[in-house]
Amino acid sequence: MDKKVALITGASQGIGRTIAIKMAEEGYNIVINYIGDETNAIEVSKECEAHGVETLCVMADVTNFEAVGEMFATILDKFGKIDVLVNNSGITKDTLLLRMSEADFDSVIDVNLKGTFNCIKHAAKPMMKQRSGSIISMASVIGLIGNVGQANYAASKAGIIGLTKSVARELAPRGIRANAVAPGFISTKMTDVLDEKVKNAILSNIPLNDFGTMEDVADMVCFLASDKSRYVTGQVLNVDGGMVM
Ligand code: NAP
């Protein structure tokens, strides 16, 4: 069977890692992109290969247009095609607006928004040739509602939503779909150590009264990657327990 090929950016840890392993379980050959953490990337590739798929680890800074071009050349060289692009790489540099430096703003926009543009730009050509493809970009509910101390992050994630909708319109005639996933409050090592009072305050704003898991986000990505979502494009799918509605 000719397996589909999925590139997940920032797959060496966190949500990207969970997506890579879940997609391997579903039978995709997996490309693991990372910027610095080679040891983790190799671990992820081993976990993916345990599901009987092929993997490729590629170090590339998504902010660097040429480096992203080289990453796609390497992928096409090995697999001959790219079926799914998951734009997951992301950073935060949280601080109040009055303290936010130009560099804090630029770096977050560069990784989150420009990095997403760079990958879409290089994925579009081979996907257009194939006349198929699914592009999934990680936004955030913060891109929909804003947040104190996250002006840069909110702007980058709102930008991803506008970019996704434009790409969805432009590439739909070529059989390519583009959607965004907007996670809400997802349990990670960082959030696990929060004080009970803080956790309860957050939970009081979540109708399903629970934090999301990385698997919840990965399940949505798998749905958007698959043909089960063949009639879904240009959408922002919130995975937030009903927090934003
Ligand atoms: P994370 O654990 O901090 O992982 C970030 C990943 O991005 C790492 O694999 C890192 O690679 C990679 N990365 C960073 N800068 C890069 C660059 N310039 N080029 C290529 N890769 C780069 O993040 P996470 O919490 O799992 O979040 C993943 C995505 O979900 C992000 O887009 C985030 O904004 C979004 N999100 C997260 C939450 C949440 O609660 N966690 C909520 C809403 C949205 P290295 O390991 O090599 O450094």
pLDDT by residue (tens digit) across 118-147? 999 999 999 999 999 999 999 999 999 999
Q: Is the CB of 111 under 6 A from ligand 1?
A: yes
- How far apart are the C-alpha atoms of 39 and 34, rounded to whole Å? 10
8 Å CB contact between 238 and 184: yes
Residue percentage of the chain with pLDDT more than 70 = 100
pLDDT (0 to 100) of residue 189: 77
Task: Supply the angle between the helices 115-130 and 65-79 in degrees, to the nearest 10.
Answer: 30
> Residue 196 corresponds to which amino acid?
E
Residue nearest (by alpha carbon) to ligand 1 atom 44: 140
CB-CB contact of 144 with 158 (8 Å): yes
Nearest atom in ligand 1 to 191's CA: 40
What is the residue extent of each domain of the chain? Answer: 5-237
Q: How far is the CA of 155 from the centre of ligand 1 (A)?
A: 16
For the residues 57-72, what does the mean pLDDT come to?
A: 98
* Residue with CA closest to ligand 1 atom 39: 186
CA 58 to chain centroid, in Å, comes to 16
Q: How many residues does the chain have?
A: 245
Residue 95 CB-half CA count within 13 A: 10
User: Over the stretch 186-206, which tens digit does the pLDDT of each residue have?
Assistant: 998 777 888 899 899 999 999
Main-chain phi, psi angles of 156, to 5 degrees: -65, -40
Give the integer Cα–Cα distance in Å for 63 and 189: 26
Atom of ligand 1 nearest to the CA of 18: 26
* Domain at 5-237, CATH homologous superfamily: NAD(P)-binding Rossmann-like Domain (3.40.50.720)
Mean pLDDT of 26-40: 97
Q: Is the CB of 179 under 6 A from ligand 1?
A: no
Six token digits for residue 122 = 């290089």
Closest CA to 12 of 33, 31, 26: 33
Is any atom of ligand 1 closer than 6 Å to the C-beta of 152?
A: no
113 CA from centroid of ligand 1 (Å):
13
> How many Å apart are CA 133 and CA 171, to the nearest integer?
9
The region, left, alpha or beta by phi > 0 then psi within -120 to 50, assigned to residue 86 is beta
Atom of ligand 1 nearest to the CA of 188: 41
pLDDT at position 163 over 80: yes
Residue 14 beta carbon below 6 angstroms from any ligand 1 atom: yes
Predicted local distance difference test score (pLDDT) of residue 1: 56
Higher-scoring residue by pLDDT: 40, 190: 40
* Over residues 22-42, mean pLDDT: 97
Residue 151, both tokens: 């002006």
Whether the CB of 217 sits within 6 Å of ligand 1: no
Report the C-alpha gap between 233 and 52 in whole angstroms: 30
User: Is 34 close to ligand 1, i.e. is its CB under 6 Å away?
Assistant: yes
| Signed CA dihedral, 179, 170, 115, 12: sign only | positive
C-beta of residue 41 within 8 angstroms of C-beta of residue 57 = yes
Is the CB of residue 166 less than 8 Å from the CB of residue 207? Answer: no
CA of 202 to the centre of ligand 1 (A): 22
Residues carrying an active site annotation: 153
Q: What is the tens place of the pLDDT at every residue in 89-115?
A: 999 999 999 999 999 999 999 999 999
